[in-house]
């Protein structure tokens, strides 16, 4: 996968990018933005927008994340190399597929598999609109899929995700659960970091907030974020209480006790295996927190590897209700309402 660019005379602005798009049967074809039919925005976050687009020549529908960046040509090449690696993740059923990338007028367009919703929107609809809960059997399948995805990224692609949260775990009517938003080069992330709202509720591990307590980025920081995510999906709200300031929230994560899921929450019973898995992920001391190789051997993960759960019917039922009520199925921003 690569891009070819040209510049207007007397301008430093890249105006056209031709990339390689990987389509059916792993065939690679040249494409530009003119080959894509824009069908409208389906998501918006601090990094940019996500639009549903169709590759006109084959009818392939995809999600295209358009990220405003200030990277130069050298950094663009690094990003394309990073995404070349990411495109090799197609062997893992728990990772969103990437089809290609191009740059246009300062935007980086990342073309990837189209899913039906993200779990942040999904769970809020379930808890706030339907006044229901996500069944533990579904939570177990989410835990299984996410751990398998994270483990695959680290073992096969040497990638650490760094941003595990409900909005980065996607689902569809077929019952698929897939992890997205990984593998973007540090140059691109750094160039747009200033656009992120520091007031976003952090899923970051204590050692990421206070570097003096950690020894560099480790997969166990993502394990903490996974625990936070599962806790949130289980109870229908962010694990920590509402903060009055950024300083207060960061202080509580670093200095306060770690959230601990109880076996009984508002009359809902959770199995010992699920509670233990979540709380094991949320061990505050980094060195005591497990890595993926230990998590995939946890009784919860082992039990769901062979358990048949009709999550396709469950997802379809909820998604149909979301659409009927005009509720956005994708993340429209990164802020807690």
Q: What is the 3-state secondary structure (H, E, C) of 88-108?
A: HHHHCCCECCEEEEEEECCEE
Last residue in a domain, options 68, 91, 113: 113
Residue 120 bears catalytic tag: no
Task: Looking at the structure, tell me whether residues 260 and 140 fall in a common domain.
Answer: yes
The number of beta carbons lying within 10 Å of the beta carbon of residue 326 is 6
pLDDT at 190: 42
* Per-10-residue mean pLDDT, the chain, length 337: 40 56 81 93 80 94 84 67 68 90 82 94 97 97 97 89 91 96 50 38 83 72 96 95 83 93 93 98 96 97 95 98 87 42
Count helices and strands in the chain by DSSP H and E runs: 11, 13
108 and 160 in a single domain? The answer is no
Q: Yes or no: say if 121 and 327 are a contact pair by the CB < 8 Å rule.
A: yes
User: Is 319 a domain residue?
Assistant: yes
Q: Is 160 contained in some domain? A: yes
Residue 164 lies in a domain: yes
DSSP per position, 294-315: HHTTSHHHHHHHS----HHHHH
Please tell me the predicted confidence (pLDDT) of residue 329.
76
Phi, psi (deg, nearest 5) at residue 100: 170, 180
Distance CA 272, CA 243 (A): 30
Residue 290 resides in a domain: yes
Are residues 218 and 254 located together in one domain of the fold?
yes
Tell me: do 213 and 312 sit in the same domain.
Answer: yes
Half-sphere exposure of 70 (CA within 13 A, CB side): 6
Closest CA to 63 of 108, 109, 17, 3: 109
Clarify whether residues 65 and 188 are in a common domain.
Answer: no
Q: Are residues 239 and 314 in the same domain?
A: yes
Distance CA 288, CA 290 (A): 6
Domain hosting 222: range is 117-324
Domain identity same for 178 and 304: yes
Instruction: Give the per-residue pLDDT at 4.
Output: 43
Domain termination residue (choose one: 82, 97, 113)? 113
Residues 61 and 166 in one domain: no
Residue 335 lies in a domain: no
What total of structural domains would you count in the chain? 2
Q: 89 with 121, same domain?
A: no
User: Of 38, 84, 163, 172, which residue is the catalytic one?
Assistant: 163
Q: Which pLDDT score, from 0 to 100, does residue 248 have?
A: 87
Query: Do 156 and 260 share a structural domain?
Result: yes
Measured between alpha carbons, how far is residue 296 from residues 187, 270, 276, 305 in Å? 32, 20, 14, 10
CA distance 155 to 106: 33
- Kind of pairing between the strands at 60-68 and 48-55: antiparallel
Compute φ and ψ for 73, nearest 5 degrees.
-65, -40
Residue 283: what pLDDT?
98
Q: Which of 27, 28, 35 is nearest to 56 (CA)?
A: 35
pLDDT the model gives residue 81? 66
CATH code, domain carrying 190: 1.10.510.10
- Distance in angstroms between the alpha carbons of the first and the last residue of the chain: 39
> What pLDDT sits at residue 215?
62
Question: Is residue 57 annotated as involved in ligand binding?
Answer: no
Task: Locate 233 and state its tokens.
Answer: 């999906």
Q: How far apart are CA 91 and CA 104, in angstroms?
A: 29
The DSSP result for 106-173, as a single string, is TEEEEEEE--SEEHHHHHHIIIIIS-----HHHHHHHHHHHHHHHHHHHHHH-------SGGGEEE-T
Looking at the structure, tell me whether residues 162 and 265 fall in a common domain: yes
- Asked whether residue 330 is assigned to any structural domain, the reply reads no
- CATH number, domain with residue 92: 3.30.200.20
| Nearest alpha carbon to residue 314 among 126, 93, 63, 42 | 126
- Do 12 and 51 fall within a single domain? yes
On whether residue 187 sits in a domain, the answer given is yes
Per-residue model confidence (pLDDT) at position 35? 94
Residue 332 lies in a domain: no
Domain boundary residue, one of 89, 113, 137: 113
Beta bridge partners of 110: 65, 101
Q: Which of 324, 318, 283, 311 is nearest to 138 (CA)?
A: 311
């Amino acid at each position: 996968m690569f891009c070819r660019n040209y510049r207007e005379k007397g301008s430093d602005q890249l105006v056209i990018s031709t990339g390689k798009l990987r389509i059916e049967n792993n065939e690679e074809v040249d494409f530009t933005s003119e080959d894509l039919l824009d069908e409208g925005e389906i998501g918006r976050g601090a990094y940019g927008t996500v639009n549903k687009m169709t590759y006109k020549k084959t009818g392939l529908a995809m999600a295209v994340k358009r990220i405003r960046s200030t990277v130069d040509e050298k950094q663009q090449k690094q990003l394309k190399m990073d995404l070349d690696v990411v495109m090799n993740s197609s062997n893992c059923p728990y990772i969103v597929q990437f089809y290609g990338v191009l740059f246009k007028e300062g935007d980086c367009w990342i073309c990837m598999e189209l899913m039906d919703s993200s779990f942040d929107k999904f769970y809020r609809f379930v808890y706030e609109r339907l006044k229901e809960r996500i069944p533990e059997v579904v939570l177990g399948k989410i835990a299984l899929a996410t751990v398998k995805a994270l483990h695959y990224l680290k073992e096969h692609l040497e990638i650490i995700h760094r941003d595990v949260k409900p909005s980065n775990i996607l689902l569809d009517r077929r019952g698929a659960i897939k992890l997205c938003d990984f593998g973007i080069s540090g140059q691109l992330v750094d160039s747009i970091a200033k656009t992120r709202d520091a007031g976003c509720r952090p899923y970051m591990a204590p050692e990421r907030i206070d570097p003096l307590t950690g020894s560099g980025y480790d997969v166990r920081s993502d394990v903490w974020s996974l625990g936070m995510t599962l806790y949130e999906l289980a109870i229908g709200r962010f694990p920590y209480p509402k903060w009055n300031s950024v300083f207060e929230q960061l202080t509580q994560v670093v200095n306060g006790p770690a959230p601990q899921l109880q076996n009984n929450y508002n009359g809902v019973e959770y199995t010992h295996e699920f509670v233990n898995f979540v709380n094991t992920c949320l061990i505050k001391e980094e060195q005591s927190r497990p890595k993926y190789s230990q998590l995939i051997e946890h009784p919860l993960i082992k039990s769901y590897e062979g358990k048949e759960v009709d999550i396709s019917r469950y997802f379809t039922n909820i998604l149909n209700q979301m659409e009927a009520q005009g509720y956005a199925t994708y993340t429209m921003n990164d802020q807690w309402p």
